[in-house]
Amino acid sequence: MNPLLSQLQPYPFERLRQLFAGVTPPEGVRPISLGMGEPRHPTPAFIKDAFTDSLSGLASYPATAGDPALRKACAAWIQRRYGLALDAATQVLPINGSREALFAFAQTIIDPTRAGATVVCPNPFYQIYEGAALLSGATPYYAPSDPARNFAVDWDSVPEDVWQRTQLLFVCSPGNPTGAVMPLPEWEKLFALSDRHGFVIASDECYSEIYFQGEPPLGGLEAAAKLGRADFRNLMAFTSLSKRSNVPGLRSGFVAGDAKLIQAFLLYRTYHGSAMGPAVQGASIAAWNDEQHVDDNRALYRRKFEEVTPLLASVMDVALPDAGFYLWARVPDALGLTDAEFARELLAQYNVTVLPGSYLAREAGGFNPGAQRIRMALVAEAEECVKAARRIVQFIQSHP
């Protein structure tokens, strides 16, 4: 067996299952889960229709590079969303969801024969970053988020000798679980570090279309263009239809950026067997070409956050995030509970599931930046999210 597999830590939801072992929620209280970030709004009918209309393609092997029509649809969306003109043939590549591609990209980039191969990622973070680093033969380095700056990542805390060893940097903006969006000056800082040390930046942007006020979140490619980096050197942006279009089961997205990285990634994926099925491609083309359903989806999330956030803010340290569909709340100190204890007692007493923040982070520099936080995914219907929030308020107010 690959010895690197032994370095993988249990996935957060496996840890949650173990935490809840032996817990019996109260009878007659309907369960509400805010634990998993799985979109639950209905999939638009036109996307399902496009899927079934494309079933005739099942008789042929799909190309790893994807149908040119899909790549053009992705490039056209980038043009509309960010005002950028990309070459669909060389700067865009379909992927089977951002999770699969983020993992595979690390295997493409990392050279484990170089001493001290390092992957830098935010902390807390999406767990695939860590697994991708470990199984590529690299060592993860965790850059902490700063609560004083709305949980922006403290890139300045990363030592120079770590940057010198870094081959890949994972950026998540809007962030999971914090919802923080990275502003242009921080992109400028990371691009300068990339130029100095030669590492590649993988920008995870799967929450980019769920925002609540003002301008849409700045994207990595958009930031590069604003800073005169029209070739997007050493930059790859990852995006997905899962959250944008409520199709997590479709497993569809795309990467875009540096043409040299696209070429190398396509080579890897050709051998990896990552071609997207024709029905998925047909549905994806329809989804990328339509914005009305995205506007409607965003309005549903906006309503939920407007109703839920004030309720929880009355008893917890929590605020509207920059973007995304998570609330990142602090467990009140007066309760005397850890984040894991809070989650377990909340389930036992009120049948509401939340995810302990410490499960989404690693202890680094003597502390876990996710500790004493909980992540709540507002993915259910508005009424259900409000009901869950009221139960949480009652739980906190009634706790001795």
pLDDT single digits (tens) 155-210: 999 999 999 999 999 999 999 999 999 999 999 999 999 999 999 999 999 999 99
Q: Which helix (H) or strand (E) holds 330?
A: strand 326-330
Report CA torsion sign: 310, 311, 316, 319: negative
Give 121's pLDDT tier (boundaries 50, 70, 90).
very high
Distance between CA 261 and CA 184 in Å, rounded? 23
pLDDT of residue 44: 97
pLDDT of residue 222: 98
Q: Please state which of the ranges 9-13, 77-81, 327-331 shows the lowest mean pLDDT.
A: 9-13
Alpha helices (H) along the chain: 12-19, 45-53, 68-82, 98-109, 128-135, 160-165, 184-197, 220-226, 241-245, 259-272, 278-288, 292-313, 339-350, 382-398
- Asked whether the predicted pLDDT for residue 364 surpasses 80, the reply is yes
Q: Does the predicted model carry a pTM greater than 0.85?
A: yes
- Asked whether the predicted pLDDT for residue 334 surpasses 80, the reply is yes
- Residue % of the chain over a pLDDT of 90: 93
Phi, psi of 327 (to 5 degrees): -105, 135
- Asked whether the predicted pLDDT for residue 400 surpasses 80, the reply is no
164, 158 Cβ separation under 8 angstroms? no
Residue with tokens 């920008």: 203
How many contiguous H segments (helices) and E segments (strands) does the chain have?
14, 13
Distance between CA 150 and CA 123 in Å, rounded? 14
pLDDT in tens, 87-118: 999 999 999 999 999 999 999 999 999 999 99
pLDDT of residue 151: 84
Give 212's pLDDT tier (boundaries 50, 70, 90).
confident
- Asked whether the predicted pLDDT for residue 146 surpasses 90, the reply is no
CA-nearest of 182, 126, 104 to 362 is 126
Average pLDDT of the chain, as a whole number: 96
pLDDT of residue 365: 83
pLDDT in tens, 277-312: 999 999 999 999 999 999 999 999 999 999 999 999
92, 79 Cβ separation under 8 angstroms? no
- Residue % of the chain over a pLDDT of 70: 100
**Residue scoring higher pLDDT (150 or 232):** 232
Cis peptide before 124 (omega within 30 of 0): yes
